[in-house]
Amino acid sequence: MDFGFTISKPRSIEPTEAGKEQLRLLEEQVPTFRRCMNCGGCTATCSAGHFINFNIRKVHNLYRWGQYKELDEELQKCMLCGKCTLVCPRGVNLRSLIIHLRKALNKDHLSNDFQHFIRNNNR
């Protein structure tokens, strides 16, 4: 449908097909990820975020958008203390999310997931 206006192309975010697959796999492992409403509660309470500019909400959003660059490095700042999980009003299992994100972003595990991807798409 044509509403007579568009979002200018460079500002829209379109994950690639592979990116969508990655996201689907993550959501399969951490189903509560879907519930996030981007309130930022996790970031506000984050132990690592009290020291430096570490934004856990941004990290998982960037992953959602398929922007994986340097996310792995960024995630290594997390201390897995669990405060974010405890305060999340939507019950997102953030610690599980963080561990699975690390797995997904880790080179060794990426290949596993890729195998999984191939298997699921070539029935």
Partner 1 sequence: MSSYFHPFILPFCIGTLVLFVIIAVKFYRWITTLDRKQKKNVWMSLLTVRVFPALWRIVKEIVKEVLLHVNITRYNWRMGYMHRSIALGWFLLIVTGFVETLFHFRGGGHLPWLGIFFRFFVRDYTYGISRVWADVMDLLLLYVLSGVSIAIFKSIYSRVVGIRKNTKLRWFDICLRYSLWLIFPMRLLSESCTAALTGNGGFLTQGIGDMLPTEFAQVMEVPFWTAYSTCLCVFFVLFPFSRYMHIFTEPLLIVFRSLGVRESSQPTGYTRMELNACSRCGICIDGCPLDKELKINDIQGVYLLRDVRHGLPHRNATENCLMCDQCVVDCPVGIEITEIRKQERNKGALDTHDNYRFLDSIQSFNAIGRIAYFGGCMSHLTPGVTESMKKIFDAVGQKYWMMDEDKTICCGRPLLQQGFIAQAAELRRKNAHLIVESHAQYLVTSCPICYQSFKKEYNLPIKVIHHTEYLAALIRLGKLKPHKTGLKVAYHDPCELGRGCNIYDEPREVLQAVAELARVQKEREHSICCGHSLGNTALDVEKQDKVRDAALRNLKADHPDLIATACPMCKKAFQRDRYTTVKDIAELIAEQL
Name the residues that contact ligand SF4, by CB under 6 A. Answer: 36-42, 45-49, 56-57, 78-84, 88, 90, 92, 94-95
Point out which span in 5-13, 14-22, 58-66, 95-103 binds partner 1 (CB under 8 A): 95-103
In the three-class reduction of DSSP (H, G, I as helix; E, B as strand; rest coil), residue 109 is classed as: helix
61 binds, among partner 1, ligand SF4, none (CB under 5 to 8 A by kind): none
- The first and second tokens of residue 9, run together, are 């192309």
Name the residue among 39, 47, 31 with its Cα closest to residue 97: 31
Q: Are 91 and 60 spatial neighbours (Cβ–Cβ below 8 Å)?
A: no
Q: How far is the CB of 65 from partner 1 (least distance, A)?
A: 22
